Structure 1
Amino acid sequence: MTTPGLRARKKQQTKEQISHRATELFLARGFDKVTIAEIAAAADVAKMTVTNYFPRKEDLALDLGPVFTGQLAAVVRGRAPGESALAALRAAYLAAVEAQDPVIGFSGKPFATMITDSPALVARLREFHEVRETVLAEVLAEETGAAPGDITPRVAAAQLAGVQRVLFEEILRRSLAGESGDDIATALLGYARAAFDALEPGLGEYAVR
């Protein structure tokens, strides 16, 4: 009998296999030119299996979407006692730059080109940024005990997520230009420090645990 743990692992392996094969096809031929049927054939699964795991074709390419949209909120929820939301997000972002984390945009020129060449992927990425900001605003409201209708959490989320969106787009721009990950990381460390410093006067004491 297959255990629940084994079933879950097999499902995850299937999902990863589908995503991996899809990405290979997208990089080779462009996102818009690849069909779901071709992805299913490459992954050796039924077409319905692909759509069951990935209802939207865009999410085959942007499979880190769920991590991306929840990332800022998770950092704020996990901040240390005495730490503000801004300080937690700053530290997490700088660590992600040092690690050249794909979630914040380190993907290399081929992947960056695949995204920017597809209007569908550009639109989906825009949705992810918007969702991430909304989720962050909800968490900030909870963490600060904001009254219903208080606009402060939304304003703070717009600033905190907005900075990271600008930095994401800078990584994307530099990736398209063919810069190496190391060179991009070096530049981004400086940009990120300046960006977060600019938020310090207004948000340095906001949402302190």
Structure 2
Amino acid sequence: MVEGLRTRKKERTRRAISEVAIAMFLEHGFDQVGVAEIAAAAEVSKPTLFRYFPTKEDLVLDRIADHRGEAAAVVRARPAGRTPLDALHDAFMAGLDAREPTTGLCDHPAVMAYHRLVFDTPSLASRVADYAAADTEALAEAMSEALGETTSGAARETAGEVFGGAAGEVFGGAAGEVLDGALSQAAGETAHEVAPRDSGSPRPVPLLTSRLVAAQYVAVRQILARDNYAALASGRTADERYGEAVTAASTAFELLRHGARAHGL
């Protein structure tokens, strides 16, 4: 019981520090606020702040970090009879219905301001790109597991050109450049050796295929979110955008399925 109270107290402190930091960043700009100022405003020492948040960027991105690995978790928890892409499509549609910020279809002023802060700040956008690359790796692994694939060895080949400019279409500027690099790296770090299967099982899917499909999914999700956010930033409400968002998502996932269907994804 004591341990539970201690954990809750730490979480409250963590949340309070982050909220103070984000409010200051939104008011003054990320690069115009120092860690010492944040610690003073949050009434904690600098060492205490750094125990909770090792870097300045972590003060902002704690919210996004909570969503890391979600796509892989969706694939692993999918209902029987649903392919990985079916499950990811279902999850994205549910997010649209719930106006989840990760879908870009949340018009709450605080969410819109947070989005601008993250993607207008190069160091924050770079960290988001790192998260995207890690999510791509985790999702590819989950897809391979879903298909009963066993991999070994460290052989790699470059497939990054498949995604040339994909992320640039998502956010543009600093965010687009770093996301392009991250997606290309994630697609290119490919293992070759795949264990043989029983003759009666579906044809094996090289890890390359899983990585490519995963990277395409991550890019599609970002493009959909970016388009939704852009519509809201132009003055439309989430409810006004909803129908178009559903249609766009359905079209995008059908395009993904078209190439992945032959591999059981």
TM-score, normalising length from structure 2? 0.71
User: Deviation of residue 207 (structure 1)?
Assistant: 5.4
Rate the CA distance shift 1:48–1:187 in 2: closer, same or farther, 3 A: farther
Aligned position for 1:202 = 259
* Equivalent-residue separation in structure 1 for 2:264 and 2:62 (angstroms): 31
- In the TM superposition, what whole-angstrom CA distance separates every residue of 1:43-73 from its partner, at most 9, and x where no partner exists? 1111112211111221211222333321101
Aligned position for 1:177 = 234
1:37 aligns to 2:36 (yes or no)? yes
104-113 or 22-31: which moved more? 104-113
* Equivalent-residue separation in structure 1 for 2:66 and 2:227 (angstroms): 20
1:37-116 matches, within 5 Å, as 37-105=36-104, 106=106, 108-116=111-119
Aligned position for 1:123 = 126
Aligned position for 1:16 = 15
1:154 aligns to 2:211 (yes or no)? yes
1:129 is aligned with what amino acid? A
SS at match of 1:169: helix
User: Deviation of residue 128 (structure 1)?
Assistant: 1.5
2:75 is aligned with what amino acid? V
Rate the CA distance shift 1:144–1:92 in 2: closer, same or farther, 3 A: same
* Equivalent-residue separation in structure 2 for 1:24 and 1:54 (angstroms): 16
Task: Count how many residue pairs are aligned between Structure 1 and Structure 2.
Answer: 207
Conservation of the 8 A alpha-carbon contact between 2:228 and 2:241 = yes
* Equivalent-residue separation in structure 1 for 2:248 and 2:120 (angstroms): 26
User: Deviation of residue 135 (structure 1)?
Assistant: 1.0
User: Deviation of residue 173 (structure 1)?
Assistant: 2.9
User: Deviation of residue 115 (structure 1)?
Assistant: 2.0
Q: CA RMSD in A?
A: 2.1
User: Deviation of residue 134 (structure 1)?
Assistant: 1.1
* Equivalent-residue separation in structure 1 for 2:16 and 2:256 (angstroms): 41
Higher RCO (C-alpha under 8 Å, 6+ residues apart): 1
User: Deviation of residue 113 (structure 1)?
Assistant: 2.1
* Equivalent-residue separation in structure 2 for 1:152 and 1:117 (angstroms): 33
Aligned position for 2:4 = 5
Conservation of the 8 A alpha-carbon contact between 1:84 and 1:206 = no
Aligned position for 2:24 = 25
- In the TM superposition, what whole-angstrom CA distance separates every residue of 1:97-148 from its partner, at most 9, and x where no partner exists? 1111123344643222212331111211221211111111121122222232
TM-score, normalising length from structure 1? 0.89
2:211 is aligned with what amino acid? R
110-119 or 73-82: which moved more? 110-119
Aligned position for 2:141 = 138
1:171 is aligned with what amino acid? N
* Equivalent-residue separation in structure 1 for 2:130 and 2:236 (angstroms): 26
Structure 1: runs of 5 or more not aligned: none
* Equivalent-residue separation in structure 1 for 2:84 and 2:26 (angstroms): 37
